[in-house]
């Protein structure tokens, strides 16, 4: 099945590494013009150069932005529109794992997590929706994690922020569908990422990174017996962003190798 995004403009937050980078590359390969946003300038620019080199596509722009800051979100949207045109596809992917015992999570950490993972998605969705509605075509994908459906002990604040993101997905889907703007969520399980690479390096283990991932899959009882690949996640996101997913809205899809205890 050929999945194409020709003549579409995609904005991906958290786009410099891991899942964001993989999605940006896949979208560009499918014909989209892509804007990637993140806080780290060097990693962001390296990602943009790599995507241009692999795809031969010039319409890839890198935007340094802290999406937890409302004014920077406004500037991000303005810059993307001025460089590439109105956003057709928004992927709210920014975030990092924050978790601990409930009584040890400070107000500051709660607020930072909500600003980064929830308010960033709210603000960006509010900015892109008017043009999507005018064109009667749009896609919003909220990248969450499986704890949004099945939160565990000591999962705050991330599990709570992600659960709110799933509720936001359903609210937006219900309001935007009549304009042919489809809103869905992808819930991440254990997928090879920069965070896992850093964890492996800090562990001081003599075993290879591949062995580290294998042990992670075993200890977390992943039914498929392995950790996922960023490219596998990106393929699903590309499908959701395309016309091939034209009757799919308001769903939260687990991308976790079967690990989540709930559907």
Q: DSSP letter string over 191-252?
A: B--HHHHHHHHHHT-SS-HHHHHHHHHHHTT-TTSS-B-HHHHHHHHHHHHSGGGTT--S-E
Question: Is residue 57's pLDDT more than 90?
Answer: no
Tens-digit pLDDT profile for residues 180-215: 999 999 999 999 988 888 889 888 888 899 999 999
CB 228, CB 172: distance < 8 Å: no
Tens-digit pLDDT profile for residues 229-241: 999 999 999 999 9
Tens-digit pLDDT profile for residues 1-45: 899 999 999 999 999 999 999 999 999 999 999 999 999 999 999
Beta bridge partners of 91: 12, 141
pLDDT at 84: 98
φ/ψ (deg, to 5) at 250: 75, 25
CB 155, CB 222: distance < 8 Å: no
């Amino acid at each position: 099945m050929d999945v194409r995004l020709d003549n579409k403009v995609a904005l991906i937050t958290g786009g410099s590494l891991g899942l964001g980078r993989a999605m940006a590359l896949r979208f560009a390969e499918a014909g989209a013009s892509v804007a990637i946003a993140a806080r780290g300038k060097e990693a962001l620019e390296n990602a943009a150069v790599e995507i241009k080199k692999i795809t031969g596509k010039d319409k890839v722009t890198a935007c340094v932005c802290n999406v937890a800051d409302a004014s920077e979100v406004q500037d991000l949207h303005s810059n993307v529109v001025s460089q590439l045109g109105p956003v057709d596809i928004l992927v709210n992917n920014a975030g990092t794992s924050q978790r601990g015992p409930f009584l040890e999570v400070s107000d500051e950490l709660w607020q930072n997590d909500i600003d980064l993972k929830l308010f960033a998605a709210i603000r960006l969705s509010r900015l892109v929706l008017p043009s999507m509605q005018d064109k009667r075509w749009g896609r919003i994908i909220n990248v969450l994690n499986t704890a949004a459906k099945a939160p565990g002990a000591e999962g705050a604040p991330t599990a709570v922020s992600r659960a709110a993101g799933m509720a936001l997905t359903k609210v937006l889907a219900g309001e935007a569908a009549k304009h042919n703007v489809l809103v869905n969520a992808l819930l991440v399980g254990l997928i090879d990422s920069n965070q896992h690479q850093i964890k492996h390096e800090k562990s001081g283990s003599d075993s290879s990174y591949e062995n580290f991932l294998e042990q992670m899959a075993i200890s977390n009882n992943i039914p498929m017996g392995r950790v996922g690949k960023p490219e596998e996640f990106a393929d699903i996101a590309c499908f959701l962003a395309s016309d091939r997913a034209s009757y799919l809205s308001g769903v939260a899809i687990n991308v976790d190798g079967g690990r989540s205890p709930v559907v």
